[in-house]
Amino acid sequence: MTATILILFGATYLGMALGRFPGLSIDRTGIALVAAILLLATGALDTEQLVEAVDFPTIFILLGLMILSAQYAGSGFYDWCALKVAQAARSPARLLAVIVLVAGGLSAVLANDVVVFAMTPMLCVGLLARKLDPRPYLIALAGAANAGSAATVIGNPQNILIGQVGHLDFWHFLAVCGVPALAAMLIVYVTVWLVWRGRFGEPEDAGTGGTVPVAPVPLDRWQLGKAVAATLVLLVLFTRDIPQEHAVLLVAGVMMVSRRMASRDMLGMVDWHLLILFAALFAINHALGLTGIPAALVGDLQAAGWLPDRLAVMVPLALAGSNSIGNVPAVILLLAAWPSPPEGALYGLALLSTLAGNLLLPGSLANIIVAERAAAAGVRLGFVEHARCGVPMALLSMAVAAVWLWAGGWMPL
């Protein structure tokens, strides 16, 4: 049975690295789900073990935040915001700054994947209408969303999981991670501006297919007001002695009680693929844990002094893991093998795995979402184009974060 688990585990994370298997139309979520099904079918896991493997508080927080975000989307806020951003600033420098501030700020509260999924298409439309090349602005959108999401324990899926494992307080997390996240947003802005300086106009190879007429975007201010009020209530609840998943679900439940927005429509905006991916990876990693291999490996690493509880190990590990199998699977895998990391290492893992995702296009789900949504809007964002900005963005922001963690005493060198 151990051999079966190892084969399925290896195939799953190979699929995470490749994004799909050649010749098959199966993505990361499908690969993980099929592997989990095969673990059940072969008897490597039974139903009780599978249920035990899933970290339901993390799933509940993700689900609740997606429902809250659906309230924003249903009000038309994301489209309205993206279009206003694209039309607001006259100069490329100011427009770039607005995109970085809006994407980073929203991602800190509403989760980066949701923000970039909603904003990318309309941002492309607005930029094309102004005869601007969307590519540098899209790179900034993804980079700032990743950077801003590093500031809070609900900013991205991996932070949510880390927060649940370590029972991390929302406001203390912000105090530790907020400054390097802001610095990373500034690095995103400066990097994109320097790399693309003088080339923000629409070139012939942008793949845009000409300008696109922009229709006005309606904004339901009542529904937006409900969403903002719910967000403020959620932040207040995070100061109370109540489990975070309870607070998020409570707010989400209230949002679903509406006279104008159907609950079916709100649930239709939930990223069920991401929730299934999380659940399946939990099951696969739990199966590997039952073999005893991860525990033995952690013991060997601890004896050799190579646990990622110091920056010299955590930084390259986060960089390699995030840009091979992706930062979400990498964090799930690491925490499954290392169940009791110190609190400082959890802050380091959250910051560094998130910022490392900016290095290459497949490094984070937000990057992939931006590229795919942009392609659907007629804008090609290539691997090399992203890497020209992504490599310096990631390395510089990770260096700043590492110095901050060391200077603050949260992680040793």
CA–CA gap between residue 174 and residue 176 (Å, rounded): 5
Asked if 351 contacts 401 with a C-beta cutoff of 8 angstroms, the reply is yes
Angle subtended by helix axes 134-149 and 112-129, to nearest 10:
160
Domain total for the chain? 1
Tell me the mean pLDDT in the region 136-142. Answer: 95
> Per the domain annotation, does 234 fall within a domain?
yes
**Distance of alpha carbon 366 from the chain centroid:** 5
At 93, the pLDDT band (50, 70, 90 cuts) reads confident
pLDDT in tens, 256-284: 998 888 888 899 988 898 899 889 999 99
Three-state DSSP at 184 gives helix
DSSP label at residue 201: B
> Per the domain annotation, does 206 fall within a domain?
no
> Per the domain annotation, does 272 fall within a domain?
yes
Q: Write down the residue that tokens 């890497």 correspond to.
A: 387
> Per the domain annotation, does 208 fall within a domain?
no
Instruction: Select the highest-mean-pLDDT range: 144-148, 212-216, 271-275, 328-332.
Output: 144-148
> Per the domain annotation, does 178 fall within a domain?
yes
pLDDT in tens, 327-381: 888 898 888 888 788 999 999 999 999 999 999 988 888 898 899 889 888 899 8
298's tokens: 């952690």
Choose among 314, 310, 392: nearest CA to 350. 314
pLDDT in tens, 217-255: 788 999 999 999 999 999 999 988 889 899 999 999 999
At 147, the pLDDT band (50, 70, 90 cuts) reads very high
Three-state DSSP at 132 gives strand
Q: Where are the alpha helices (DSSP H) in 130-169?
A: 134-149, 157-166
> Per the domain annotation, does 207 fall within a domain?
no
Q: Is the dihedral of CA 357, 361, 367, 368 positive or negative?
A: negative
> Per the domain annotation, does 205 fall within a domain?
no
CA–CA gap between residue 302 and residue 315 (Å, rounded): 17
34-38, 261-265, 357-361, 390-394 — which is least confidently predicted? 261-265
Asked if 127 contacts 121 with a C-beta cutoff of 8 angstroms, the reply is no
Q: Domain range spanning residue 138?
A: 1-200+215-408
Tell me the mean pLDDT in the region 375-394. Answer: 91
> Per the domain annotation, does 209 fall within a domain?
no
341's tokens: 């990391």
Q: What angle do CA 350, 249, 219 make, to 5 degrees?
A: 90
Q: Annotate 81-90 with b (16+ C-beta within 10 A) or e (fewer).
A: bbbebbeeee
Tell me the mean pLDDT in the region 184-211. Answer: 74
Asked if 279 contacts 59 with a C-beta cutoff of 8 angstroms, the reply is yes
